[in-house]
Amino acid sequence: MVDIHCHIFHGLDDGADSLQTSIQMAEMAIADGITHVVGTPHANSQYKFDPGLIRQLRDELQSAVGDRLTLATGCDFHLSYENLRDIQNNPQKYTINQKNYLLVEFADFAIPPSMDDTMHQLQLIGLSPIITHPERNALLRTKPERMYRWLHQGAYVQITALSLLGRFGSAAQDRAEEWLDDDRVHFVASDAHNLKGRPLQLRAAFDVVAKRRGEAVAQALFQDNPLAAFEGRSLPYEPEQLDPSAKPPQYPRRKRFIFF
């Protein structure tokens, strides 16, 4: 399996707190059957995003685990004004393995109407946005039609493995299952932060998806699509997304005459 979203590099954000923790998370991933991991620290106003330091930490961890696990860098990209201005000039600075897929994180408190245009602008500079854990975002859970528009325009969706196991509550689990059944999910990732509460494991969620949708869909969401994003290729599993704004055909009405 391939994990495109986790916080395995230490000392950068609210993820791993030490090199030892990073190594233990890597060992956990290897034992779970994960072959590739993308370390994706937050890039927001709270945590400074330093690509040079991130690469250094990746190299350090890669040296510790050897060739048993392939590590790459990316980020949990917050759609702030500063980030959006910078990514126009440095698109691959933030992407998964410096290719063309970008994890996009939405705020929990507000999603402005201009976000539709923002998502489109990311695509115009050659990026493929991946909406991270929308099932955990109350705004997107209650107004999913906004996400459906972005999907129709070519964006993708990544849900969290633990959401499928009920670890983020029933509302997140229900939405994750609904979107999974409706073919609106392209990736399942761990979003791991530590060893216990949010571990770097995918196998249990893989089994849930295989039981619910079949082995082929599970293989696509945990292996085929994530590996394609890791390598910067087109996704092999990409169900067609209907236009949510499409309206049923309108037929001419008979004229009504009002007599006074």
Select the more confidently predicted residue: 162 or 257.
Answer: 162
How far is Cα 163 from Cα 165, in angstroms, rounded to an integer?
5
Q: Could you tell me the pTM of the whole model?
A: 0.91
Cα angle: 17, vertex 187, 42; to 5 degrees: 30
Give the pLDDT confidence of 144-174 residue by residue, as tens digits.
999 999 999 999 999 999 999 999 999 999 9
Residue 259's pLDDT is what? 33
Question: pLDDT tens digit string along 9-68?
Answer: 999 999 999 999 999 999 999 999 999 999 999 998 888 899 999 999 999 999 999 999
Q: Which of 83, 88, 61, 87 is nearest to 200 (CA)?
A: 61
pLDDT in tens, 188-200: 999 999 999 999 9
Write down the CATH number for the domain with range 2-231: 3.20.20.140
Sheet strands (E) in the chain: 2-6, 36-39, 42-43, 70-73, 76-78, 101-105, 128-132, 156-160, 187-189
pLDDT at 197: 94
Per-residue pLDDT for 92 more than 70?
A: yes
Residue 104: which residues within 8 A CB-CB, separation 6 or more? 77, 79, 119, 122, 129, 130, 131, 132, 155
Q: What pLDDT is stored for residue 245 in this prediction?
A: 64
What value does the mean pLDDT take over residues 231-247?
Answer: 83
* Averaged pLDDT of the chain: 92
5-14, 126-135, 238-247: least confident range: 238-247
- The pLDDT score that the predictor gives to residue 112 is 83
Domain layout of the chain by residue ranges = 2-231
Which of residues 251 and 146 earns the better pLDDT score? 146
| Spatial distance between the Cα atoms of 223 and 233, rounded to a whole number of angstroms | 13
